[in-house]
A and B are shown apart, each in its own frame.
Chain A
Amino acid sequence: MAVGALFAAATGCGPREPVVKIGFVSPLTGDQASPGQDLLKGAQLAIAQAQAEGPILPGYRLELVALDDQRSPTQAVAAAKKLVSDPDVLAVVGHLNSSCTMPASAIYHQGRLLQISPVSSNPQISRQGFDTFYRTCATDDLQGPAAARFAVKELAARTVVILDDMTTYGRGLANEFEKELTALGGRVLMHEGITQGDKDFTPLLTKIKSLQPDLLYFAGMFPEGALLIRQRYDLGVGGHFLGGDGLYDPTLILLATPQAADGIYATTIGADIRQVPTAQEFVKAYEAAYGPVGAYSAYAYEAARLVLWAIKTAGRKDRQAVLAAMKTLTDYPGVFGRQSFDERGDSRIRDIGLFTVRDGRFVFLKTVSVE
């Protein structure tokens, strides 16, 4: 305590040590803390590796500022404003939820701050025309249709019930899925919303049971997904269960119980990290530092490395220069392969992964590449 106070006093009096900061925002507390922490560890790994290599800009110390948005758009905006107003912050990795990234992206754009979102997959975000926005994942106008094709062609689902969590991500993904499904001749018996944080879905599932659909599609996150899966099992609702990347978290199986989760399907916004040859170095380094790789860790690692690359390429502590540098990026040797971005800031790597649950674990089925 006393030593800490002395240290603080010493640094407070002396000249300020020059620092370059990278912002990081995701839910770090609340029901989505677990994927948020996965993202944070990915970003931390990239920063630690960069620090080990030496200063990113000559004479500057590198620092990661991690903020918590609790998956709430209001908190996300507050965090974004905080980062924009700190002149030492040169770029941001975040946020997790599309509903957070959407409003925050406008603030980063105003502040000329480079933002790379690891996993916010709603297509509308990059259609706002912000030159400050990039993302390292595939978008939901790829994920939704890929899921619909899988449902119709491989699961032979003709009648489908769609549920979403009424967020930017959930509703967006569900609509993309529905569009492709109806185009392929599938019939949507019902498309309903649920509320995030709600726990009792038995009335809705009872209604679904009476409709007897071939497939139940859920576009939302794993806390609600787990309860849906569990209550669906308890009520004995038949048919397949398919969901988006929001379900792809081991916590889903833990909360739903392996018994109830067995045989469900989930798509992801990228290939299975363990199958990608270029990712093996990352997987090894991550596992050595933090244990098993989380579903989203690699996206944040990639985003943080791209941000570092842009700062290094810019060569000076200037937000505009960092943005200009990011624009020149092509064929960056990334975790998922050669990384580059289209004019909207969306990654050109457009892989959708497909997983199922077997014996209490997510099992990789295949990668669907989308053009």
Chain B
Amino acid sequence: MTPFQVFLQQLANGLTIGSIYALIALGYTMVYGVIQLINFAHGEVFMVGAYVGLSACLWLGLEGVAPGGAMAWGFVGVVGASILGCALLGLAVERLAYRPLRRAPRLTALITAIGLSFFLQNAVMLVYGATDRRFPALVPSVRWNLGGATVTTLQLVIWAAAGLMMAGLQVLVMRTRLGKAMRATAQDPTACWLLGIPVDRIISVTFAIGSSLAAVGGVLFGLYYHTVNFHDGYLIGLKAFTAAVLGGIGNIPGAMVGGLLLGVLETLGAGYLSAQWKHVFAFVVLVVLLLFKPTGLLGERVADRA
């Protein structure tokens, strides 16, 4: 392998994990955008997404299905089930845990988010058990050569799925009435309410969309690493949150860029410096960036709302 091929390979590795970070980071950033809440339970929604996907695999009997059409539909079914499950979970979380606290001080909601995170972790542990669960391989493991870098079919699927989801979200937010309402709510919920925009419903929808993206991230994560564990949401959630801050929290393209960038930086750090320092490296980058640009890469300074 030439040094350039090694670099390409590292880039491919980084973009894969970065795509998953980006999908989750979007949920953090969207919720922060509309209600200025860091939804720390979001990492757990991602983990639940992986487990719902696992259940769907088992329920559909996809263990060891021959590659081909059935498998492709199985993949779509599993992702669909996971999206549905997580969207409902997102709606329930917003309705039961955050809406009653809408007028409470922001710290109250933050503590609720942390409590909810523990609750979801333990609930999943009780339902699925505390051991690692194996995630069935829905995508056949075929290796491709892309300019010297080895890429598996699964990686292509991860890139495609993440790209599609992000493009879809961008269209939704920028081109539809719903998206316009979401952007308006992010700017000024009181004014929106006065203009007759159903603010509560818009917030609910935001949670549902953010959770759906995390669900896709969860299934892709399960497929990529073959195992899921009830505490997987913690570290990955933290990384995705970092990605959202890196890109400028509240900014949707920022979360995408932040996720991909974090994945790539982490991979390059592990590959060229030292694997032992992988996690440290990512956070050092964050701290340095925030020193020079406190709003994140694409974030703008907004007036603090009371």
Interface residues of A (CB under 8 A from B): 29-31, 33-34, 166, 192-195, 197-204, 206-207, 209-210, 223, 226-227, 230, 233-236, 251, 254-257, 259
Do A203 and B271 touch across chains, with their CB atoms under 8 A apart?
Answer: yes
Residue interface bits B263-275, CB-to-A below 8 A is 1, else 0:
0001111111011
Q: How far is the CA of A29 from the CA of B9 in the complex (A)?
A: 36
Given known A203-B267, A203-B268, contact A192–B9 (CB-CB < 8 A): no
Q: Is the interface of B mostly helix, strand, loop or mixed?
A: helix
CB distance from B223 to the nearest CB of A (A): 12
Given A210-B6, A256-B226, A257-B226, 19 more contacts at CB 8 Å? A29-B131, A166-B276, A192-B274, A192-B275, A193-B275, A194-B275, A203-B14, A203-B269, A204-B275, A206-B9, A209-B1, A209-B9, A226-B226, A227-B227, A233-B141, A234-B150, A234-B152, A235-B150, A254-B134
Contact of B141 among A33, A193, A259 (CB under 8 A): A259
Do A255 and B275 touch across chains, with their CB atoms under 8 A apart?
Answer: no
Q: Which B residues lie within 8 Å of A166 (CB)?
A: 276
In chain B, positions 232-247 with a C-beta closer than 8 Å to chain A are 232, 235
User: B279 at interface (Cβ–Cβ under 8 A)?
Assistant: yes
Q: Which B residues lie within 8 Å of A29 (CB)?
A: 125, 130-131
B13, B141, B150, B268 pick with most chain A CB within 10 angstroms: B13
Do B225 and A204 touch across chains, with their CB atoms under 8 A apart?
Answer: no
Do B13 and A203 touch across chains, with their CB atoms under 8 A apart?
Answer: yes
CB distance from A120 to the nearest CB of B (A): 21
User: B251 at interface (Cβ–Cβ under 8 A)?
Assistant: no
User: B102 at interface (Cβ–Cβ under 8 A)?
Assistant: no
Residue on A with the closest CB to B272? Answer: A207
Q: How far is the CA of A194 from the CA of B274 in the complex (A)?
A: 10
Do B150 and A30 touch across chains, with their CB atoms under 8 A apart?
Answer: no
Residue on B with the closest CB to A29? Answer: B130
Q: How far is the CA of A126 from the CA of B1 in the complex (A)?
A: 45
Residue on A with the closest CB to B268? Answer: A203
Residue on B with the closest CB to A33? Answer: B131
Residue on A with the closest CB to B141? Answer: A234
Do A257 and B137 touch across chains, with their CB atoms under 8 A apart?
Answer: yes
Q: Which A residues lie within 8 Å of B269 (CB)?
A: 203
Q: Sort A-B residue pairs by CB-CB distance and give the 5 closest, nearest first.
A: A29-B130, A203-B270, A203-B271, A202-B13, A204-B275
Do B17 and A200 touch across chains, with their CB atoms under 8 A apart?
Answer: yes
A sample of 26 cross-chain residue pairs with beta-carbon separation below 8 angstroms, ordered by A number, consists of: A29-B125, A30-B131, A31-B132, A31-B229, A193-B276, A195-B276, A197-B235, A199-B225, A199-B227, A201-B275, A202-B267, A203-B10, A203-B13, A203-B266, A203-B270, A204-B270, A206-B9, A206-B271, A207-B272, A209-B6, A233-B141, A234-B141, A234-B150, A234-B152, A257-B137, A259-B141
Do A34 and B275 touch across chains, with their CB atoms under 8 A apart?
Answer: no
User: B95 at interface (Cβ–Cβ under 8 A)?
Assistant: no
CB distance from A66 to the nearest CB of B (A): 15
User: B143 at interface (Cβ–Cβ under 8 A)?
Assistant: yes
Q: Which B residues lie within 8 Å of A236 (CB)?
A: 143, 150
Q: How far is the CA of A192 from the CA of B273 in the complex (A)?
A: 11
Q: How far is the CA of A171 from the CA of B196 in the complex (A)?
A: 64
Q: How far is the CA of A255 from the CA of B9 in the complex (A)?
A: 24
CB distance from B66 to the nearest CB of A (A): 15
In chain B, positions 248-290 with a C-beta closer than 8 Å to chain A are 266-272, 274-276, 278-279
Do A235 and B9 touch across chains, with their CB atoms under 8 A apart?
Answer: yes
Do A255 and B276 touch across chains, with their CB atoms under 8 A apart?
Answer: no
Q: Which A residues lie within 8 Å of B130 (CB)?
A: 29-30, 33
Do A203 and B226 touch across chains, with their CB atoms under 8 A apart?
Answer: no
CB distance from B237 to the nearest CB of A (A): 14
Q: How far is the CA of A96 from the CA of B302 in the complex (A)?
A: 54
Do B132 and A255 touch across chains, with their CB atoms under 8 A apart?
Answer: yes
CB distance from A268 to the nearest CB of B (A): 22
Residue on A with the closest CB to B155? Answer: A234
Contact of A206 among B6, B125, B152, B229 (CB under 8 A): B6
Q: Which A residues lie within 8 Å of B10 (CB)?
A: 203, 206
